[in-house]
C-alpha cells in the first residue's frame, strides 16, 4: 500500500468553490443580461407609447370610398394613379392603391381588378 500525503502550499487559499471572473467574464456575466433588460424595457416603452390606433369606437370608423378598375395592357400604377387623381401627388395615390389592394411588391398584370381611392 502507498500512502497519500497532502501538503499545504503557502500563499494559496484553500477556499473550494470560489469563482474568479476575468474582466471579459464579468462583462459577459453582468453586461449581457443588463443589455437584454435595457432592450426589453425600450421595446416595452415603444409599444406602450405607439400612437397606432384606428379609432376610439366602431362608430368613428369609416370605410375608404373607392372604385374598381381593370388593368389594361401597358398600364402602370403610376399611370393609373395619374388618371384617378390628376390633382394629387401620384406617389401618395400609388401608396393608397398598394395598401387598398394589399399588393406585396407593386406589380400589376393586365386583367387584374384594382380598387382605386375615390377623390
pLDDT band at 7, cuts 50/70/90?
low
Exposure string over 77-94, b if 16+ CB within 10 A, otherwise e: beebbeebbeeeebeebb
Q: State the Cα–Cα distance between residues 90 and 1, nearest whole angstrom.
A: 97
Contacts of 88 (CB under 8 A, 6+ apart): 81, 119
**pLDDT for residue 113:** 93
Q: Which fold has domain 64-117?
A: Membrane-bound Lytic Murein Transglycosylase D; Chain A (3.10.350)
Q: State the Cα–Cα distance between residues 68 and 117, nearest whole angstrom.
A: 9
54-110 pLDDT, tens digit per residue, is: 566 666 667 777 888 999 999 999 999 999 899 999 999 999 999 889 898 888 999
Domains in the chain: boundaries: 64-117
Instruction: Name the pTM for this structure.
Output: 0.48
Q: Residue 56 forms beta bridges with which residues? A: none
C-alpha cell at 20: 474568479
Instruction: Tally Cβ neighbours within 10 Å of residue 116.
Output: 19
16-39 pLDDT, tens digit per residue, is: 678 788 988 888 889 999 999 999
Amino acid at each position: 500500500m502507498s500512502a497519500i500525503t497532502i501538503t499545504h502550499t503557502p500563499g494559496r487559499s484553500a477556499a473550494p468553490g470560489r469563482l474568479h471572473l476575468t474582466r471579459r467574464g464579468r462583462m459577459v456575466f453582468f453586461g449581457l443580461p443588463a443589455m437584454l433588460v435595457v432592450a426589453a424595457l425600450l421595446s416595452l416603452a415603444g409599444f406602450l407609447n405607439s400612437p397606432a390606433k384606428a379609432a376610439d369606437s366602431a362608430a368613428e370608423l369609416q370605410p375608404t370610398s373607392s372604385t374598381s378598375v381593370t388593368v389594361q395592357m401597358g398600364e402602370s400604377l403610376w399611370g393609373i394613379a395619374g388618371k384617378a387623381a390628376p390633382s394629387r401627388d401620384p406617389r401618395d395615390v400609388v401608396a393608397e392603391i398598394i395598401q387598398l389592394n394589399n399588393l406585396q411588391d407593386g406589380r400589376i398584370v393586365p386583367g387584374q381588378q384594382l380598387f382605386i381611392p375615390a377623390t
